[in-house]
């Protein structure tokens, strides 16, 4: 596939942008080659600078649950922007989005908007420390909670992709305030609390870990986290920036029946525009300024255009048939891909929840970061490029999730499965010689 214009655009970007990109995973370092530059998108299809079209499974890394440029969302954005792009004052649409969030997630009684998921998780952790008066936060290796200093210790997503799970610039003092344990290892959590119970302010966790690939919790794991934190007087923070309103109408917590103390949200609640939020029990949220002493602020927080897009998106998601369609269609593509890999004797694990899915090239179950790292990332890189050549755009890293939308039709599913079959067949000879 000829990508001259993308190559030229990348050369230009590298002259003025750090690394040529504005988020590391976009640079294709995990799969090799140069990034594809997209100029337009509609529905499930994106178009690059060289006019190649791709079925898109990145979907803005999750927010585009109705696909690209959905007419109702575009109209809401245009109308809101025509009235003014930023006020720096309260607006009624902020309250509307907050009401929709609280109605869908009973654990959230009060909410505060931010401009990104990173700000949401960072603020939730600060609030947990301020509310409990404790210092330590427990996180899990491979879970990515944004790029605030305290989270870049055994992080997932782009940090893992680029082999810097502990970032330079994170001080020893910051690192000493964070305990990092393996995901899905409840005994390790019990041991940490046996030593530090009175110091741990909170556990923060992706209930479905979507930033080391899609790694799902073992049966009883999330409930055990809830029980342990409750007994110790610590808070349980669910990072549902990715899973909120995507895994299901009430997020992962709704599916699992777990009530966290605080929840971080983003992506879908802004309809594809920059947004984040954190919320939870009313008594905890009462500690946030101006009512309480824990400071959180943002000039563009609750941005009126993002709120307008989010309000339309969340209203459309109240229709149960949306999630039924997404679950059915995502299961169909996973079944098709599984059949392709199984037919060709390719060792793999397929993980799915709601409209998120992931392929690991390994013959062993994936329960944590170490398991994910043992998968065949070299094969994934070859598979990625083989699929790209056949018009399928996957996340350019083994350690990311794929996303599905209501805009993906049976035709796109069939095309994707056929492309996977052709891609694997093209790789069989190299595989046989490994």
* pLDDT the model gives residue 430: 58
- Concerning whether 295 is annotated as a catalytic residue, the answer is no
Residue pLDDT, tens place only, 222-246 = 999 999 999 999 999 999 999 999 9
d(CA 236, CA 143): 15
Quick one: 153 and 203 in the same domain? Answer: yes
Quick one: 256 and 347 in the same domain? Answer: no
Q: Looking at 10, 54, 261, 267, which residue is catalytic?
A: 267
Quick one: 277 and 360 in the same domain? Answer: no
Q: Mean pLDDT throughout 367-382? A: 96
Q: Which helix (H) or strand (E) holds 315?
A: helix 304-316
- Concerning whether 414 is annotated as a catalytic residue, the answer is no
Q: Is the pLDDT of residue 277 over 50?
A: yes
Quick one: 258 and 192 in the same domain? Answer: yes
Q: Mean pLDDT throughout 162-187? A: 80
Q: Is the pLDDT of residue 159 over 80?
A: no
Minimum mean pLDDT among 58-67, 162-171, 291-300: which range? Answer: 162-171
Among the three residues 316, 332, 361, which one is the final residue of a domain in this structure? 316
Quick one: 396 and 412 in the same domain? Answer: yes
**Predicted model pTM:** 0.94
* pLDDT the model gives residue 168: 76
Q: Is the pLDDT of residue 155 over 90?
A: no
* pLDDT the model gives residue 161: 46
Q: Are 384 and 394 in contact (CB under 8 A)?
A: yes
Q: Looking at 10, 57, 144, 383, which residue is catalytic?
A: 144
Closest CA to 116 of 297, 267, 244: 267
Mean pLDDT of the chain: 94
Quick one: 35 and 109 in the same domain? Answer: no
Residue pLDDT, tens place only, 65-111 = 999 999 999 999 999 999 999 999 999 999 999 999 999 999 999 99
Three-class SS state of 300:
coil
pLDDT grade for 154, boundaries at 50, 70 and 90: low
Angle at 232 between CA 209 and CA 118, to 5 degrees: 35
Quick one: 292 and 167 in the same domain? Answer: yes
d(CA 225, CA 203): 8
Q: Is the pLDDT of residue 169 over 80?
A: no
Quick one: 132 and 200 in the same domain? Answer: yes
Q: Is the pLDDT of residue 177 over 60?
A: yes
Structure letter (DSSP) for residue 270: G
Among the three residues 316, 339, 354, which one is the final residue of a domain in this structure? 316
Q: Is the pLDDT of residue 315 over 50?
A: yes
Q: Mean pLDDT throughout 357-377? A: 97
Beta strand residue intervals within 43-181, DSSP E: 45-48, 53-56, 110-114, 136-140, 178-181
Residue, of 188 and 150, whose pLDDT is higher: 188
Residue 348 token pair: 């793999």
Quick one: 308 and 218 in the same domain? Answer: yes
Specify the CATH number for the domain of residue 173.
3.40.640.10
Quick one: 181 and 269 in the same domain? Answer: yes
Quick one: 299 and 379 in the same domain? Answer: no
* pLDDT the model gives residue 176: 84
* pLDDT the model gives residue 282: 98
Minimum mean pLDDT among 14-18, 64-68, 153-157, 416-420: which range? Answer: 153-157
Minimum mean pLDDT among 70-79, 158-167, 168-177, 270-279: which range? Answer: 158-167
Specify the CATH number for the domain of residue 403.
3.90.1150.10
- The structural domain count of the chain equals 2
Quick one: 109 and 20 in the same domain? Answer: no
Residue 48 token pair: 């690059």
pLDDT over 90, % of the chain:
90
Q: Looking at 239, 261, 371, 376, which residue is catalytic?
A: 239
430 burial via Cβ count (<10 Å: 0-12, 13-18, 19+):
exposed
d(CA 306, CA 284): 26
Among the three residues 297, 316, 335, which one is the final residue of a domain in this structure? 316
Structure letter (DSSP) for residue 176: T
pLDDT grade for 249, boundaries at 50, 70 and 90: very high
How crowded is the C-beta side of 127, counted as CA atoms within 13 Å?
Answer: 33
- Concerning whether 239 is annotated as a catalytic residue, the answer is yes
Which range of residues forms the domain containing residue 425? 4-69+320-432
pLDDT grade for 157, boundaries at 50, 70 and 90: low
* pLDDT the model gives residue 305: 98
* pLDDT the model gives residue 164: 47
pLDDT over 70, % of the chain:
95
* pLDDT the model gives residue 166: 61
Q: Is the pLDDT of residue 317 over 90?
A: yes
d(CA 231, CA 237): 15
pLDDT grade for 160, boundaries at 50, 70 and 90: very low
């Amino acid at each position: 596939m000829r990508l001259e214009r993308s190559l030229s655009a990348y050369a230009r970007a590298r002259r003025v942008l750090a690394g040529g990109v504005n988020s590391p995973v976009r640079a294709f370092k995990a799969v090799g080659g140069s990034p594809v530059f997209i100029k337009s998108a509609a529905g499930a299809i994106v178009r690059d600078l060289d006019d190649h079209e791709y079925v898109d499974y990145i979907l803005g890394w999750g927010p585009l649950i109705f696909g690209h440029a959905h007419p109702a969302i575009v109209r809401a954005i245009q109308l809101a922007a025509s009235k003014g792009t930023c006020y720096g004052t309260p607006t009624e649409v902020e309250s509307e989005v907050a009401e929709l969030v609280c109605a869908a997630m009973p654990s959230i009684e009060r909410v505060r908007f931010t401009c990104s998921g990173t700000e949401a998780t960072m603020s939730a952790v600060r609030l947990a420390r301020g509310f409990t008066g404790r210092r330590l936060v427990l996180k899990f290796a491979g879970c990515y909670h944004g790029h605030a200093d305290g989270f870049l210790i055994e992080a997932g997503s782009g940090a893992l992709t680029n082999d810097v799970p502990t970032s330079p610039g994170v001080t020893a003092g910051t690192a000493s305030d964070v305990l990092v344990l393996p995901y899905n290892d409840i005994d390790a959590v019990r041991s940490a609390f046996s030593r530090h119970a009175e110091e741990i302010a909170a556990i923060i966790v992706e209930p479905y870990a979507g930033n080391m690939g899609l790694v799902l919790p073992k049966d009883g794991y999330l409930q055990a986290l809830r029980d342990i934190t409750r007994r110790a007087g610590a808070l349980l923070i669910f990072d549902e920036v990715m899973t909120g309103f995507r895994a299901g109408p009430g997020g992962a917590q709704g599916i699992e029946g777990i009530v966290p103390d605080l929840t971080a949200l983003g992506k879908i609640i802004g309809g594809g525009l920059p947004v984040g939020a954190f919320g939870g029990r009313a008594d905890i949220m009462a500690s946030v300024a101006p009512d309480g002493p824990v400071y959180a602020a943002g000039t563009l927080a609750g941005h009126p255009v993002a709120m307008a897009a989010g309000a339309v998106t969340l209203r459309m998601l109240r229709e149960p048939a949306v999630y039924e369609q997404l679950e059915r269609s995502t299961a169909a593509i996973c079944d098709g891909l599984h059949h392709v890999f199984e037919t060709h004797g390719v060792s793999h694990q397929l993980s799915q929840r709601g409209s998120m899915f992931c392929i690991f090239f390994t013959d062993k179950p994936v329960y944590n970061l170490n398991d994910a790292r043992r998968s065949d990332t070299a094969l994934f890189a070859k598979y990625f490029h083989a699929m790209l050549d056949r018009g399928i755009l996957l996340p350019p890293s083994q350690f990311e999730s794929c996303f599905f939308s209501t805009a993906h039709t049976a035709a796109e599913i069939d095309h994707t499965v056929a492309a996977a079959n052709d891609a694997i067949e093209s790789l069989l000879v190299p595989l046989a010689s490994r």
